[in-house]
Amino acid sequence: MNKKLLATLCSAALLTVAVGGQVQANDELLKLQQDPNQWVMWGGNYSGTRYSTLDQITNKNVKELRPVWTFSTGVLRGHEGGPLVIGDMQYVHTPFPNKVFAIDLNDQTVVWSYEPKQNADVIAVMCCDTVNRGLAYADGKIFLQQADTTLVALDAKKGDVIWSIKNGDPSKGETNTNAPLVVKDKILTGISGGEFGVRGRLTAYNIKDGSVAWQAFSVGPDKDMLVDPEKTTAMLKPIGKDSSVSTWQGDQWKIGGGTTWGWYTYDPALNLVYYGTGNPSTWNPSQRPGDNKWSMTIMARDADTGMAKWFYQKTPHDEWDYDGVNENILVDKEFQGKPRKLLVNMDRNGFGYTLDRETGELLVAEKYDPAVNWATHVDKETGRPEVVAKYSTAQNGPDVNTKGVCPAALGSKDQQPSSYSPKTGLLYVPTNHVCMDYEPYDISYVAGQPFVGATLSMFPAPNSHGGLGNFIAWDAIQGKIVWSLPEAFAVWSGVLSTAGDVVFYGTLEGYLKAVDATTGKELYRFKTPSGIIGNINTYTHKGKQYVAVLSGIGGWAGIGMAAGLSKSTEGLGAVGAFKQLSAYTQLGGVMTVFALPD
């Protein structure tokens, strides 16, 4: 083992302390996240800012960037997420079959690899490609959430399985795609399957042995959701008894969706975990009258107990599949002249939200794509969007094709995580510029079978630049776009911003792009072997800064290529919108690492 990795793991052992008999692994992570030379969790830090204080690569010299080494994963589906860097080791993951590679940065050799044995039947119940969004690290362990819902802890030095547990049941449509997050002595993970009538939940497992610490459902009875009717609030008011079940018809909440396959962030000072819940099931809103709480909701929970402190439902009675799982970035800034602990969420529904992350107070809710038309605005008093009747699939009813809804079900932004730079005070947001026609129809629930109930077709936003995406800078205090760069295709990569005044993002054609953090001016581009839906990270090795990105076309936007689909309405409507993508890129899983010349 190399000396730097050994030192890191030894330090981890010293930092892992026993408090009341419980191992507090994130004491280690609290220190490691402050070391810009490593990249120890999906967002770079618990706040999910995807910002690095490294500044060797700047807006002045980034034009000299060049690829210095590559690594092929040997997998040809969509590569979301990004690698971790712990000491001198880089940990790379893949989509199904969810391989993990530990690569020595000194010579780029594979120290160990892990390939789980999974039943390939799970592929058929994965909604939008066989993606995986990344790994977690703590206490000398690498944590992988497999597609078949197996959560596994691997020895970071050797790759041996330390423990594994089952987080769900694929025969019911339950799968996993999320990157887990370690908080204190627990590893947090969610569940996928909203298109199969899965009931969403977040589960905390003890990192020592994989035993369940707590589990909180997104919908259903109060006791299942870990809420206190008098203490858990929404819009600063107690949610009251049976706040969820009273908004569903009969027992529909049992197959109600609200899955939790997105990203998780954590505020150590408040001891609160933040995450979003997904769409209600089915996509036909007429079959599930009511607000369908608490799908489409930002949730803040106590990390130790799972008890909910506050909720904010962004899209009550969702009629468009505007999944609510996008990342919640934690930012400390002044708001109206006072310092506030803020949470920023760029939702699929096309609104950018800024909330007080301690209380859940709604501060800002504004459109971040001018094409958004399904609602006129969000009422700041009630928190509810004002829906436009013309674009209401519920008001138009089943078997009616509601045309020209913007954004499409892909959202103005899907799971691809944004970045926040404390240096500029701006968020950098990868967005989709896609609209849709949406026709709901009645459907019956059968366990393990698709429970969608809508036919979609997607297309570029009309009367615009003709492309399917924009890359924007967003002022979360003012709720305004600062600058916007049009893109031919949706921007589906995770963003990186740095102290060098550079912002990096990737395109579906396969370009890694670097732009000026203040002006948005393009400074550099390089075409990687396949389209980029992965996240861009940075780290140092032997004092030199590197930038790494996973390329590998797929995900919802690239599902046509990844799964060999050709009909326009396949891939839940995405195939038609992105049918030209194959002229610009091909399948392939490759990590490309960049640096400046010596």
How far apart are the C-alpha atoms of 363 and 345, rounded to whole Å? Answer: 12
How far apart are the C-alpha atoms of 130 and 124, rounded to whole Å? Answer: 9
Across the beta sheet with 502-506, the strand order is 51-52, 496-498, 502-506, 511-516, 522-527
Structure tokens at 79: 């590569």
Contacts of residue 217, Cβ cutoff 8 Å, sequence gap at least 6: 199, 200, 201, 224, 225, 226, 258
Identify whether 291 is a catalytic site residue.
Answer: no
Contacts of residue 290, Cβ cutoff 8 Å, sequence gap at least 6: 246, 247, 248, 249, 317
Q: Is the dihedral of CA 62, 472, 480, 273 positive or negative?
A: negative
Check: CB of residue 426 under 8 Å from CB of residue 364.
no
Check: CB of residue 490 under 8 Å from CB of residue 434.
yes
Cis geometry, peptide bond prior to residue 382 (ω within 30 degrees of 0): no
DSSP result, 105-165: TTTTEEEEEE-----GGGGGG-TT-S-----EEETTEEEEE-TTSEEEEEETTT--EEEEE
What's the first-to-final CA gap in the chain, in angstroms? 26
Structure tokens at 390: 């013309």
- Of residues 148, 321, 369, 501, which has the active-site annotation? 321
How far apart are the C-alpha atoms of 44 and 548, rounded to whole Å? Answer: 13
> Residue 413 corresponds to which amino acid?
K
Q: Of 574, 560, 324, which is closest to residue 436 (Cα–Cα)?
A: 574
- Within its chain, how far is the Cα of 45 from the centroid? 14
How far apart are the C-alpha atoms of 350 and 151, rounded to whole Å? Answer: 33
How far apart are the C-alpha atoms of 306 and 216, rounded to whole Å? Answer: 6
How far apart are the C-alpha atoms of 227 and 125, rounded to whole Å? Answer: 31
Question: How many helices (H) and strands (E) in the chain?
Answer: 6, 42
Distances (CA, A) of 109 to 71, 89, 112, 136, 141: 10, 10, 9, 21, 20
Q: What are phi and psi of 443, to 5 degrees?
A: -145, 150
Contacts of residue 593, Cβ cutoff 8 Å, sequence gap at least 6: 67, 68, 69, 70, 71, 546, 547, 548
How far apart are the C-alpha atoms of 522 and 499, rounded to whole Å? Answer: 17
How far apart are the C-alpha atoms of 351 and 372, rounded to whole Å? Answer: 8
Check: CB of residue 80 under 8 Å from CB of residue 415.
yes
Catalogue the active-site residues: 321
